[in-house]
Amino acid sequence: MSRFWMVRHGPTHAKSMVGWSDIPADLSDHAALARLRAYLPDAPVISSDLIRATATADAVQDDRPRLPHNADLREINFGAWELQTFADVEAETPELIRAYWEQPGDVRPPGGESWHDVQARVDAAIDALIGTAPDIIVVCHFGVILTQVQRALGISAYDAFANRIDNLSVTDMSFDNSWHIGAINHCP
């Protein structure tokens, strides 16, 4: 069995769609980071290669072993929508952005990824970790975590979007011939 402790990176305070932009996290809440470190098991830590995830992984690592960063654990690639607000994109292409969020699947932003693209990329990255350790801490992003919530619960992407995933929260799931979900968005 493999248990995954999926940690969302620290906040960026951006008010726009942040996908592949390398924006740092605000890791000034030392009490929250201490609670998170104490809550997580003694297990290997892996993260996306984006600085907000790598810095958060550094902050929770302590004496835990570190695995190489993995670009396949990156957030959604928003393409031309990157760093734009929902309102700005909606003003330009209202039908497309609404379809992207309300009917996630094959719809993609110009130059970006569809939900199915993200899910396939992340599923492959997580599947490669199955069996490498009993517990694995994965420091990543909102969209990455939701792809795995969707998979573990066997729900639609639209239903997965209904789950809140706060910064510095933990969502745990395990694989033992099938997926099982533990806590979603647990804030220690």
Domain ranges in the chain? 2-181
The CATH number of domain 2-181, selected from 3.40.1190.20, 2.40.50.140, 3.40.50.170, 3.40.50.1240: 3.40.50.1240
- Give the pLDDT band (50/70/90) at residue 39: very high
pLDDT digits (tens, 9 = 90+) for 114-127: 999 999 999 999 99
| Nearby residues of 115 by Cβ (< 8 Å), 6 or more positions away | 76, 100, 104, 105, 106, 107, 147, 157
Where does the pLDDT of residue 164 fall: very low under 50, low under 70, confident under 90, or very high at 90 and above?
very high
Give pLDDT, residue 177.
Answer: 92
How far are the Cα atoms of 130, 179, 184 from residue 105, in angstroms, in the given order?
Answer: 25, 21, 22
Segment 140-154, tens digit of pLDDT:
999 999 999 999 999
Closest CA to 94 of 82, 81, 83, 105: 81
Q: What pLDDT sits at residue 58?
A: 98
**Judging by DSSP bridges, how do beta strands 179-181 and 170-175 pair with one another?**
antiparallel
Q: Judging by beta carbons within 10 Å of its beta carbon (0-12, 13-18, 19+), is residue 133 exposed, middle or buried?
A: middle
Q: State residue 184's pLDDT score.
A: 98
Section 47-69 average pLDDT? 97
Q: Which tokens in the block code for residue 43?
A: 């297990």
